Structure formats: C-alpha cells, structure tokens
Amino acid sequence: MKTLLLVGIGAGDPDYITQQAIKALRRSDVIFLLDKGPAKHKLNALRREICARFLDGHSPRFAEAQQPERERDAADYRASVDELNRDKQAVFEQLIDEQMSHGEVAALMVWGDPSLYDSSIRIVEGIVATRRDFDYEVIPGITSLQALTARHRIPLNRIGRAVEITTGRLLADGWPQGVDSVAVMLDAKDTYRRFVGHGLHIYWGAYVGTADEILIAGPLDEVAERIASTRAEARERNGWIMDSYLLRKDGKG
C-alpha cells in the first residue's frame, strides 16, 4: 500500500501549521512539491521552512514536479479547469509511481485547507478509484478566510446569518441571494468595485499571514480605489498576488 497525506499547512504564516499536520509530515517518507514557476517560489520556500522548523530532525526526501498551468482567459472556464485537473492527475500519478516505494507514505503540503478551492481531493479521488494499492488521508489546515477574519478581528458571519463563499468570477454575476456577508476568493479583476454605492463594508487582505501582508478595511465607497491601486502595485512588485476579502452589508460585526 502507498499512502498520500493531503496536509493543510495554513495559508501564509508557518505558525498556522497544526500539531496534526506536523505529525503527518513526520510520518512521511517523501514530500511532493509542485513548482508553480519563479513568481511563486516563496510558497515552496515556506513549505521547506515549515519542514525545517517543525520536523524535529526527521528529514523526508523532497520530490519536485512542475505544476501544470490553467489556460488563462479560456472561453470555457469549466473545461479549462477539467483539463488542468487531468494534467495534475498525471503529474500526481507519476510522482506516486516513480517517487514512492510500496509501504511508503508521501505528503502533499496543501496551501490553507484542502477542502477550500483546491482540487487535490478530487484529483486523488480519481486516482484511488483506479488503484487498489493506494489510499489517502486529509489533514485540515487554517484557510485564507480564517486568516483574513483573524487579522481584521471580525467574525465571518453576522449573528444567525449565512455567509456565501464565492469567487470573483461568480460575484461578477451579481450579489448572491439571501446573504449579507460574502467572502470572495480568486478575484483577479477587482470585482468589489462593481458594488461601490451599495452601502457595503469591505475587509481586504493580500498575502495574509506572510511578511508581505497588506490589510485594508472600511466603507467600500471610501476604500475601493485605494485597494485597487495597492493591489496593482503589490502585484507588480511581487510578480503575483493572492488576496481575498469579505464584503458585508450594514457595516461591522
């Protein structure tokens, strides 16, 4: 049997790592690292830092592979994601076949938590379905939304109310029905700007939990342009950006 651990490592600060994640990494013979190109080297540097800081002398080997990229601005978004996941599955299978022996445990250090806007579980399910000698476990991590709300010192939901977690792409279709709090991830297009003039409050954060962290909060009408320019500058400076935000009707709390 080969076992793959999908280990949530938290979304930025190495101290987000949980005791359960550390135990999982210590169980591992090999750690799979997917390289997402020079702009994102910092993310793998953080993974290595976590191993150096928390594995207490245990030194699994690292097996690196190139992360396939999704076709940007593809006409059919869903088809481009499906294709990306097929390519990722091929990379995972190659790592399992070539970098693991029978009886070994491998870990994939998943950014944040594996259940939130991450395809690892779906991909590994596809592999399990075709193999008898392979299994996997999921270890939860602190999501970017938990990091965001903690840094802004706000609850995610208002009392007794629902929250919608969505993407910039979906928010562009309009405010979701029946909610007063909307958490937005994967927004490359400053979609919050469309909601200026609607009396919303925004809590925005980029690179939350890292040394590059930037936080801005306030009435959307007052801070939207500052967020847009700060975001553009940070993206230019770092070559990439990861940011998310909570939009709330009727202000704080």
Ligand X SMILES: C[S@@+](CC[C@H](N)C(=O)[O-])C[C@H]1O[C@@H](n2cnc3c(N)ncnc32)[C@H](O)[C@@H]1O
Task: Tell me the residue number closest to ligand X, measured at CB.
Answer: 112
**Which listed residue (28, 89, 143, 181) binds ligand X by CB under 6 A?**
143
Please report how close the Cβ of residue 143 comes to ligand X at its closest, in angstroms: 4
**Which listed residue (209, 216, 217, 224) binds ligand X by CB under 6 A?**
209
Q: How far is residue 15 from each of residues 21, 49, 104, 127, measured CA to CA in Å?
A: 11, 11, 27, 31
Please report how close the Cβ of residue 151 comes to ligand X at its closest, in angstroms: 9
Please count the residues of this chain forming the interface with ligand X, following the rule CB under 6 A.
Answer: 21
Q: Does 205 bind ligand X (CB under 6 A)?
A: yes
Task: Please identify, among the stretches 23-31, 37-45, 63-71, 115-123, the one whose residues bind ligand X according to the rule CB under 6 A.
Answer: 115-123
Q: Does 11 bind ligand X (CB under 6 A)?
A: yes
Scan residues 146-185 and list those touching ligand X (CB under 6 A). 147, 185
DSSP string, the chain: -EEEEEEE-BSS-GGG--HHHHHHHHH-SEEEEEE--GGGHHHHHHHHHHHHHHSTT---EEEEEEPP-PPTT-SSHHHHHHHHHHHHHHHHHHHHHHH--TT-EEEEEESB-TTSS--HHHHHHHHHTT-SSEEEEEE----HHHHHHHHHT--SS-TT--EEEEEHHHHTT-PPTT-SEEEEES-SS-GGGGGTTS-EEEEEEESTTSTT-EEEEEEHHHHHHHHHHHHHHHHHHHS---EEEEEEETS--
**Which listed residue (4, 106, 116, 202) binds ligand X by CB under 6 A?**
116
Q: For residues 100 and 163, which CB has a smaller minimum distance to ligand X in the complex?
A: 163
Q: Does 120 bind ligand X (CB under 6 A)?
A: no
Scan residues 94-113 and list those touching ligand X (CB under 6 A). 111-113
Task: Please identify, among the stretches 19-27, 59-67, 97-105, 206-214, the one whose residues bind ligand X according to the rule CB under 6 A.
Answer: 206-214
Binding site for ligand X (CB under 6 A): 11-12, 111-113, 116-118, 143-144, 147, 185-186, 205-209, 242-244
